[in-house]
Structure 1
């Protein structure tokens, strides 16, 4: 009974998520197109303000932490995998961009399951893994159907 409710809830959330994805796809694609330029500008500005880079300082303070190293590796891989050639088809570009994004979310969830302690966060991580795996499967199947 409990599992049935959980599966039903996941299916409902997946359905709502798919509807949200398709209704907001043009905005997401636009964001994916603009993000590299924003990222480059942001980091250029950071370099001009030496001594004010708190993110780098915080990362250096925790450089030997295995969870930090795992998060950094997962983040780097996700961003590398998201650097893709766009097709000009917003639906295809969305699907192709979301797969590595979801894979990154799964990697981060697995890291918190390995290193984290908070039960609520661990439960959320498990839910994220289930939802993202389902969405990745849907996106890959859809891309196969569209021959992309």
Structure 2
């Protein structure tokens, strides 16, 4: 078995996210094609890099641009590598199926989102020079850990088994 490194996990996550975005992009671009009297695809005409109006979906250019910023680059500093790793892990961990239960879905998406904030705050503690940044990072860790515990407890009591 090969050992997974942060870089290979980042690349794997990027590929997964792009693979997931592809069918959604194809579907949205197909909905309004051809001039058969059909309405334009939802979000069509949204400025490049913005979410489609009313769809909650990013366009493909925006998604690819976002993913590119998270990929490790040769000139990245140690802090940038750690921030990018936290970004990619968070995006990967947020890719859980929706249940249709807004209470459950909110928590299952927010837990990895909060963990991402914790991971970024830890990187800030390791590399930041400004004391206010360090104080803020420490407070974020404390607050987000408490909120994660609260969400997990709620899920253990209320989420369908």
* TM tier relative to shorter chain: 0.5 to 0.7
Instruction: Report if aligned partners of 2:104, 2:159 keep a CA contact under 8 Å in 1.
Output: no
Tell me what 1:139 maps to: 151
Aligned equivalent of 2:105, options 83, 86, 93? 93
Aligned equivalent of 2:115, options 99, 103, 106? 103
The 5 Å alignment of 1:1-148 reads 34=56, 37-38=57-58, 40-43=60-63, 60=73, 62-63=75-76, 65-148=77-160
- Report the Cα distance in structure 1 between the residues aligned to 2:102 and 2:86, rounded to whole angstroms: 26
Tell which has more relative contact order, 1 or 2 (C-alpha 8 A, sep 6+). 1
Cα deviation for residue 41 of structure 1 reads 4.2
- Report the Cα distance in structure 2 between the residues aligned to 1:130 and 1:76, rounded to whole angstroms: 22
- Report the Cα distance in structure 2 between the residues aligned to 1:139 and 1:94, rounded to whole angstroms: 9
Instruction: Report if aligned partners of 1:62, 1:68 keep a CA contact under 8 Å in 2.
Output: no
Length-normalised TM-score, structure 2: 0.58
**Bigger Rg, structure 1 or 2:** 2
Structure 2 residue runs of 5 or longer lacking an equivalent are 1-54
Are residues 103 and 39 of structure 1, via their aligned partners in 2, closer, same or farther at CA, if it must alter by over 3 Å? farther
- The answer to which structure has the higher helix fraction is 1
Length-normalised TM-score, structure 1: 0.62
Structure 1 residue runs of 5 or longer lacking an equivalent are 1-32, 47-54
Are residues 122 and 142 of structure 1, via their aligned partners in 2, closer, same or farther at CA, if it must alter by over 3 Å? same
Post-superposition Cα deviations, 1:97-148, rounded to whole Å, max 9, x if no partner, equal 0000000000000000001110001000000000000000000000000145
Q: How many residues align?
A: 102
RMSD of aligned C-alpha atoms?
A: 2.1
Cα deviation for residue 74 of structure 1 reads 0.6
